[in-house]
């Protein structure tokens, strides 16, 4: 038993701190073997899930025509998101998204992924049983909390093998359309996101910019001076 990852030689801490959102450095020309994806999924499924029911199903797509159709839904959903953000701004709502150079960089990177999504060798859509649109907080938290740890495990496992992904939720503006593309029984199934999977161009990723502990952590009690502002998400299921 080694504490280093099998392919990249990274330690557990390096894997945990350098598993980034990869968009521009996805190797679109190198095929991804099904066995590698399945190895990473077996690792993903070791994540905790409510009562160990494992009520998820993962759709893994390497068929080129289906990937093209998925990429079209994703592109249209970006349009939905931009329109929703614009409406929220026009209504004077404060956006949840920051502005400035860092956000511009992310936007360019997001656009790059939109333009190349159909070329990414494997697209993964984790789903879980049930619709939670009108569910109470316990049911929502239990449902989402039973799939998202596995998704993150999956991304970490990819990193240990020299692959990468990007956590994306944009297409959920058009969840029903994606369900039609993939044959997902939408009335009884929720999609958690869309995860493009490819080998990465190089494996030298660095920790991302994150806020200081002082801003994010309160010991013992929420202090009076930390008053979150109301924010507009501008999200709407189409
Ligand atoms: C819940 C969630 C939704 C996200 N949705 C998208 C998305 O739809 N498209 C995209 O390109 N990136 C998306 N991202 C990636 C974030 O932009 C990214 O995690 C963030 O900028 C920090 O970068 P890092 O992951 O490299 O540290 C999402 C991330 C999370 C956790």
> Could you state, in order of their start, the residue ranges of all structural domains in the chain?
21-202
Q: Rounded to the nearest whole angstrom, what is the distance from the C-alpha of residue 21 to the centroid of ligand 1?
A: 6
Answer yes or no: is the C-beta of 167 below 6 A from any ligand 1 atom. Answer: yes
Which percentage of the chain shows pLDDT scores above 90?
Answer: 85
Atom of ligand 1 nearest to the CA of 106: 21
| Domain covering 21-202: architecture | 3-Layer(aba) Sandwich (3.40)
Answer yes or no: is the C-beta of 66 below 6 A from any ligand 1 atom. Answer: no
- Report pLDDT for 236: 47
Q: How many CA atoms lie within 13 A of 225 on its CB side?
A: 3
The whole-model pTM stands at 0.95
Integer Cα distance of 213 and 155 in angstroms: 24
- Report pLDDT for 232: 62
The residues of the chain scoring below 70 in pLDDT are 1-2, 95-98, 232-238
- Report pLDDT for 13: 98
Ligand 1, pocket-test mutation among 15, 20, 21, most atoms within 8 A of CB: 21
- Report pLDDT for 2: 57
């Amino acid at each position: 038993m080694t504490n280093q990852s099998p392919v990249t030689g990274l330690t557990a801490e390096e894997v945990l701190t350098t598993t980034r959102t990869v968009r521009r450095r996805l190797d679109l020309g190198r095929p991804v073997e099904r066995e590698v994806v399945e190895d990473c999924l077996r690792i993903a499924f070791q994540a905790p899930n409510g009562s160990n029911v494992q009520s998820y199903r993962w759709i893994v797509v390497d068929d080129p025509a289906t990937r093209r159709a998925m990429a079209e839904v994703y592109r249209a959903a970006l349009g939905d998101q931009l329109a929703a953000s614009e409406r929220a701004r026009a209504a004077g709502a404060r956006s949840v998204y920051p502005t400035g150079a860092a956000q511009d960089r992310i936007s360019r990177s997001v656009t790059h992924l939109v333009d190349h999504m159909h070329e990414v060798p494997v697209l993964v859509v984790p789903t879980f049983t049930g619709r939670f649109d009108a569910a109470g907080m316990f049911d929502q938290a239990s449902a989402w909390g039973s799939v998202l740890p596995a998704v993150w495990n999956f991304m970490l496992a990819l990193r240990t093998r020299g692959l990468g992904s990007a956590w994306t939720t944009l297409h959920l503006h058009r969840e029903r359309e994606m369900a039609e593309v993939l044959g997902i029984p939408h009335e009884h199934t929720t999609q958690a996101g869309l995860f493009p999977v490819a080998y990465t161009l190089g494996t030298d990723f660095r920790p991302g910019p994150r806020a200081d502990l002082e801003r994010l952590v309160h010991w013992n009690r929420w202090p009076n001076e930390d008053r979150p502002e109301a924010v507009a998400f501008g999200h709407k299921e189409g």
